[in-house]
Amino acid sequence: MLRADRLTKVYQSGGRPLTVLNEVSLSVEPGGFLAVVGPSGCGKTTLLGLLAGLDTPTSGSVILDGNDLGRMSEDERARLRAEEVGFVFQTFQLIPTLTAQENVQVPIELGAQRHRGTEARDGAAARALELLERVGLAGREHHYPSQLSGGEQQRVAIARAFANEPKILFADEPTGNLDRANGQRIVELLGQLNREMGTTLVLVTHDQELAAQAGSILRLRDGRVVA
Amino acid sequence: MTRLRFLVAMAWRETRASRRRLLLFASAISLGVAALVAIGSFTANLQTALRRETRTLLGADLAWSSARPFSDAVEAVLDSARAAGIGVVRRTLFSSVGYVRRIEGRSRLVEVRAVGPEFPFYGEVVTSPAGLWDALDTGRVAIVDTALLVALDAEIGDTLELGRGRFRIAATVSDVPGHMMGGINAFGAQAYIPERFVGETGLIVFGSRVSYQALFRFPGANEAARFERSHTRLLDSERLRSYTTDDAESDITESLEQMSQFLQFVSLIALLLGGIGVASGVGAFLAGKLETIAVLRCLGARRALVFAIYLTQAVALGVVAAVAGAAAGVLVQLMLPRLLSDLLPVTVQVSLEPEVILSGIGIGAVVAVLFALRPLLEVRLVSPLEAIRKDYEAAPRRPRDPLRLVAGGLLLIGVFAITMGRHDDPKIGLGYAGAIIGSVVALTAAARIAIWIARRLTSGRVRARWPYVVRQGIANLHRPRNQTRAVVTSLGFGVSLLAALYLIQANFLRQILRATTESASRPNIVFVDIQRDQVADVLSRAESTAHGAMQVVPMVPMRIHSVNGRDVPTLLRDTTGRRPLRWTVRREYRSTWRDTLVPTERLVQGAWWEGDGSAEAVTSGGTRVYPVSLSTDVATDLKVTLGDTIVWNVQGLHVATRITSLREVDWASFQPNFFAVFPTAALASAPTTWVLLMRIEDARERALLQRRLAEAHPNVIAFDVAVIARTIDRIFSRIAIAVRFMAALSLTTGALVLLGAVAAGRLQRIREGALLKALGATRRKLSRILLSEYVALGVLASVVGIGLATATAWAFTKFVMEMPFSLPAGPLLAVFASVVVLVAVVGLTASREVFRRTAMEVLRDM
């Protein structure tokens, strides 16, 4: 499903090169669950960005569902994300001007450019409602992000992540901004959706307990795989 | 001391990385200041120039004018003045249709200005070729307005025919002193001829409009006023109008003042709208500083200190923006005399006006600080706790802050203080302050309403039907800490200026042009001053080209002799409320006789007479009293009503009338309308001239007929509706230049507020863009979303601006010009479209960064 080969990322920092990722390779099977762990600043987030095609590596390659990201343009990668990738962020990243339901609809509508029309749109709305119900937010679909608690916002974000039925889901410290109980709920939710929908899951966290639920774990330190 | 140094240092450091953005917010103020300084300084320069050259405006120290030839009594005064060493020169103004024989089919309405040999006493006449003005003293020549040569297709050296007089065109002239004294025919191109040939033209006949003038030059200062005072009685009894250099100066300075005040009024509104932009920008800037402020508070900074730091920034920013504005204003001031030299009656020398510059800087800085105050106050309320709380937790509800009200109050007081300080009369100052605040309130209210409606229209079910990019774009307008209202308000103002100007101009011109465009039966050419013995011939010549019916209307010049038995001097001495307005009893009435109503008038009181009115004429005390119908407006100003009697002086004969009806008249129509309409029986034998109204479709045929009539009956004057419309358009476009300039300025202010808003929301926008990219949006989609956002913004601003402009123009057309109002859709759509394009281009250009950043940003802590 996902394979990375000797990924290296070098940033220019104050005029000097800074190697954030150094020859990291990994692979995840379809339906698999990989946790990337490590202390802050070890390059976790950079790796996630490269794997999802948000950024381009200095060297190395990423094959996502058979697509070599290095050979795709920015817009092609965007299209790939719209159709096959889901995201959950540490800071939720809901669009503040859209209601919960509209936020969930965004990926559907971004992916649905080839089958537009009222029918598709009604479908999107129905699907968004269904997803919100699944994450336990039935009845809150017309709330704006600012009217929701942190845990609720993250559940909306998860509903959004699954909205386009992604083949692979990237989660970046999804519980980092939540308290214990809410964090636990989110992890359970992710695991449940992973099982039910067969979505490949890549989770970045510094939380060992959380990582323990993954099928495989990749440990990073100073931009290198340590185990 | 160290405290103060820390404060200033902190304030300075705190602007790091956002100095450019802060200056952008503040630049919205700069434009307003620039306009105030440029207009104020230039007006002051112009006034100085006028005061220096005041005698040039009149071309003399004193001038008298009369609609009748000077009586023997006046001639005697002129003779004795001459004998006393006072310079006296005559000038006679009248209308003619001029043509050049060798050029077929052309003629042009001319205002003939016949001048005596010493004219003008003061100032210099610039002729082209140069130095030919003196040719008027010796030859049978004319020196003409360039427009006349163009209209006639003539050249210097051609012979200009004015009535029976023939004059060799010696030169053209651009600027002749003395033009500040009343002309008689605004539609005529000017031609100067020697005064001694007036009689030869044969143009002054019964009914002609003529202004007979005498201009004086006194050897010593103050003698003009003394001379004028010693002849007050003569002036009154002879109905002479007396004009001193002071009158000429105050005439022009008054209109100058009005223009300048209007422009400064607009500048102040632009300045205040810029202020709203500043408030909005500062608010957004501070929103990004909340964490810093909380940290400062954690570290032990007291509220007052934190507030002082940001207040210091605001003051510094306001001063920098205002100084920059003032500098720009001075630059504009330096360029204005060159740009406007054709329009100005005097040569303007530019000099710096420190008072204007300093007050401009002061006003700009004060406005910036006052507007920044409200968002700044929030700074005091930031709790140190916020430094450790995460931003997803809803910000704690802040208590209502009474100081916000104080800040609002200060702002109001500031506006009043500024306008009161600029006007000597407190009433006018209050009026302007009220109008300014009213305009700003109306604009913000309209913006609020439009945004509210947009929000309603694009939420819930309605929104669900729209394409995603559009929905997302419109939703962006409501993003937290958005500046939609500030942008819509400031842009809306520019749009409203532009649209209101256009609407008023278009409605006015449409009314004038109705004759040629709307209905095929309306007249489009009018011949006046047709004498009794010329009527038959004129009609027979005109008949062949006429389209539809020709209308021949008699016209009898007359004055009011008495009202209800009291003569004019008695009437004017009346101290009770019954004293008529001066113009109603002093003017020369041109009345008509007819026995039916015409379509442009409506009977509102009383009854129309039967037949020719002779049956209703009654004899009382040996005189016949005829019925008469007055227009409602003249009846109001004359303080008369049904049943009152008026005795008219018709060329020395008294005609007694009783008011039997009042008519409401549509003056705006291109039709002969009359204050007083008499029954046929009353006037049929009075000395009369006729007016012929007709329609000739073909412009060339219209020109041909004018030319043929000019040759056969030179005293008959033609008014072509097209020429009139062109003249009015030209007068309008001079005012329009100034208003367009202000509209451009306001639109630029709006664009700056927009840029500031984009800059203020920069991080949020980039984050949103990155997020959407991460979720799979292509750059194309992103750009469509942004495009929808800015198009929606442009639409809102246009709707607000055009809506307000329509309301203003409607009220102005309806109540001030008293004309029907219409909304020309095409040009308004063009304004609408160009504003939308402007906003979209500015917005998208300013948002380039959103496309450039990678989706990776969304994972980074921003």
| Lowest-pLDDT range of A13-27, B2-16, B124-138, B810-824 | B2-16
Q: Is pLDDT above 80 for B14?
A: no
Q: Is pLDDT above 50 for A114?
A: no
Mean pLDDT taken over chain B:
83
Q: Would you call B296 helix, strand, or coil by DSSP? A: helix
Sequence-separated (6 or more) residues with CB below 8 Å from residue B253:
B47, B50
Q: Is pLDDT above 90 for B679?
A: yes
Residue B555's pLDDT is what? 92
Residues of A in contact with B767 (CB under 8 A): 93
Residues of A in contact with B778 (CB under 8 A): 75, 78-79, 82
CB contact under 8 A, A82 and B475: no
| Closest-approach residue (CA) in chain B for A124 | B464
* Residue B140 confidence class, pLDDT cut points 50, 70, 90: very high
Q: Do the strands A200-205 and A216-221 form a parallel or antiparallel pair, or are they unpaired?
A: unpaired
Quote the CA–CA distance of B756 and B281 in Å, as a whole number: 6
Q: Is pLDDT above 80 for B74?
A: yes
Burial class (CB in 10 A: 0-12, 13-18, 19+), B4: exposed
Record the tokens describing residue B78, joined without a space.
Answer: 């002129």
Asked if residue B791 lies in contact with residue B839, where contact means CB atoms within 8 angstroms, the answer is yes
Residues of A in contact with B774 (CB under 8 A): 52, 54, 81, 87
Q: Is pLDDT above 80 for B86?
A: yes
* Residue B690 confidence class, pLDDT cut points 50, 70, 90: very high
| Lowest-pLDDT range of A35-49, A192-206, B807-821 | B807-821
Distances (CA, A) of B461 to A99, A122, B785: 13, 11, 20
Asked if residue B595 lies in contact with residue B680, where contact means CB atoms within 8 angstroms, the answer is yes
pLDDT digits (tens, 9 = 90+) for B22-55: 888 888 889 889 989 998 898 888 888 887 777 7
Residues of B in contact with A118 (CB under 8 A): 465
Quote the CA–CA distance of B4 and A220 in Å, as a whole number: 50
Q: What percent of chain A shows pLDDT beyond 90?
A: 18
pLDDT digits (tens, 9 = 90+) for B262-285: 788 888 888 888 888 888 888 878
Region B567-577: mean pLDDT is: 82
pTM of the shown model = 0.71
Residue A159 is given by DSSP the state: H
Residues of B in contact with A110 (CB under 8 A): 468, 772, 775-777, 781
A6 near B CB under 8 A: no
| Closest-approach residue (CA) in chain B for A147 | B394
How far is the alpha carbon of A150 from chain B, nearest alpha carbon, in Å? 6
CB contact under 8 A, B478 and A92: no
Number of H helices, E strands in chain A: 7, 10
Neighbours of B740 (CB within 10 A): 15
Q: Do the strands B645-650 and B717-720 form a parallel or antiparallel pair, or are they unpaired?
A: unpaired
* Residue B514 confidence class, pLDDT cut points 50, 70, 90: low
Residue A16's pLDDT is what? 85
In chain A the first and final C-alpha atoms are separated, in Å, by: 21
How far is the alpha carbon of B391 from chain A, nearest alpha carbon, in Å? 9
Asked if residue B443 lies in contact with residue B489, where contact means CB atoms within 8 angstroms, the answer is yes
A141 near B CB under 8 A: no
Neighbours of A147 (CB within 10 A): 13
Q: Is pLDDT above 60 for A202?
A: yes
Residue A98's pLDDT is what? 80
Region A139-152: mean pLDDT is: 87
Report H helices in B111-194.
Answer: 135-138, 146-152
Record the tokens describing residue A189, joined without a space.
Answer: 């939710």
Residues of A in contact with B478 (CB under 8 A): 97
Region B577-584: mean pLDDT is: 83
Residues of A in contact with B860 (CB under 8 A): 45
B397 near A CB under 8 A: no
B461 near A CB under 8 A: no
Q: What percent of chain B shows pLDDT beyond 70?
A: 92
pLDDT digits (tens, 9 = 90+) for B215-243: 999 988 788 889 999 998 888 888 888 88
> Which residue in A85, A90, A94, A106 sits closest to A186, CA to CA?
A90
Region A54-60: mean pLDDT is: 88
Q: Which residue has the higher pLDDT, B322 or A124?
A: B322
Region A46-70: mean pLDDT is: 89
Distances (CA, A) of A177 to A205, A210, B449, B774: 12, 14, 39, 20
CB contact under 8 A, A160 and B775: yes
Residues of B in contact with A95 (CB under 8 A): 472, 475, 768, 771-772
A40 near B CB under 8 A: no
pLDDT digits (tens, 9 = 90+) for A162-181: 888 889 999 888 888 778 88
Mean pLDDT taken over chain A:
85
Asked if residue B184 lies in contact with residue B111, where contact means CB atoms within 8 angstroms, the answer is yes
pLDDT digits (tens, 9 = 90+) for B728-756: 777 667 667 777 777 888 888 888 888 88
CB contact under 8 A, A49 and B856: yes
Asked if residue B661 lies in contact with residue B606, where contact means CB atoms within 8 angstroms, the answer is yes
Residue B703's pLDDT is what? 85
**Closest Cβ–Cβ partner in B472, B479, B774 for A81:** B774
DSSP string, B725-769: HHHHHHHHHHHHHHHHHHHHHHHHHHHHHHHHHHHHTHHHHHHHH
If contacts are CB pairs under 8 Å, which of residues 767-826 in chain B contact chain A?
767-768, 770-781
How far is the alpha carbon of A209 from chain B, nearest alpha carbon, in Å? 22
Q: Is pLDDT above 80 for B482?
A: no
- Which among A142-146, B353-357, B377-381 has the top mean pLDDT? B353-357
| Lowest-pLDDT range of A38-42, A66-70, B8-12, B551-555 | B8-12
Residue B79's pLDDT is what? 94
Asked if residue B270 lies in contact with residue B742, where contact means CB atoms within 8 angstroms, the answer is yes
Q: Is pLDDT above 90 for B486?
A: no
Distances (CA, A) of B46 to A194, B313, B358, B425, B621: 81, 38, 19, 22, 61
> Which residue in B616, B621, B626 sits closest to B647, CA to CA?
B626
Region A35-64: mean pLDDT is: 88
CA B607: distance to chain centroid?
A: 41
Residues of A in contact with B858 (CB under 8 A): 54, 89, 93
Residue B115's pLDDT is what? 92
pLDDT digits (tens, 9 = 90+) for B250-264: 777 777 777 787 788
CA B468: distance to chain centroid?
A: 46
CB contact under 8 A, A78 and B776: yes
Residue B159's pLDDT is what? 94
Angle between helices B721-760 and B19-52 (to 10 degrees): 150
* Residue B862 confidence class, pLDDT cut points 50, 70, 90: very low
DSSP string, A124-152: HHHHHHHHHHHTT-TT-TT--GGGS-HHH
pLDDT digits (tens, 9 = 90+) for B374-430: 888 888 877 766 655 444 344 444 556 788 788 888 888 888 888 887 777 788 788
Q: What is the dihedral of CA A198, A199, A200, A206, to 10 degrees?
A: -120
pLDDT digits (tens, 9 = 90+) for B421-464: 777 778 878 887 888 888 888 888 888 888 888 777 766 656 66
Region A124-136: mean pLDDT is: 87
Region B820-838: mean pLDDT is: 87
Record the tokens describing residue A156, joined without a space.
Answer: 């909306």
